Amino acid sequence: MAEKEREEDLLIPERFFYPKKIVSGGQTGVDRAALDVALELGIPCGGWCPKGRLAEDGMIDEHYPLRETDSPEYSVRTEMNVKDSDATLIITQGPVTEGTASTLELTNRYKKTHLVVDLFRAKDPAIVRKWLEFNQVGTLNVAGPRESRTPGIYDKAVEFLRRILQRDGKG
């Protein structure tokens, strides 16, 4: 019975304290969704972005609290965000490909906890909350495809992340 009660406790918003910080690389799509939701909900955020604040839509806006790497290569910021985080949440629609696949490979290389959520299949935020709590994730790297590769992923990621991270019981 105590185990069942503990499992239910993880779903009570007042007891949900993880993550303490959200990081991403600032690219369009999932990265930007993570930063926007964190800013909206008052969760500290940041992360690494390429030199020149490079993204597919131009320069990443200064209101995103990102630090620039010494390189304009996306792979450098991806690696730094994985290394500097406790865990990585990868949000996709379908299979993990391209830069997102590189993120997944890096989580394995650095032996970092990770969870892949395919929005075509799993949409229950409680699963992610339990994973965050169980792993006591302080700094969460959020990654996934850019908007041009998966049109509409930004809006879907925003909706999903709000449901995970809202602390007022609306998730």
In a domain, residue 96? The reply is yes
In a domain, residue 106? The reply is yes
In a domain, residue 171? The reply is no
Q: What are the DSSP E strand ranges found in the chain? A: 21-23, 45-46, 48-49, 54-55, 58-59, 67-68, 87-92, 113-118, 139-143
Q: pLDDT digits over 11-66, tens only?
A: 444 445 789 999 999 999 999 999 999 999 999 999 999 999 999 999 999 999 99
In a domain, residue 77? The reply is no
- What CATH number has the domain bearing residue 130? 3.40.50.450
- Total number of domains in the chain: 1
In a domain, residue 97? The reply is yes
In a domain, residue 170? The reply is no
9 pLDDT higher than 70? no
Name the residue range of residue 10's domain.
2-70+84-165
In a domain, residue 123? The reply is yes
H-run or E-run covering 160: helix 153-165
What's 171's DSSP letter? -
Q: pLDDT digits over 104-161, tens only?
A: 999 999 999 999 999 999 779 999 999 999 999 999 999 999 999 999 999 999 999 9
Total Cβ atoms within 10 A of residue 61: 13
In a domain, residue 17? The reply is yes
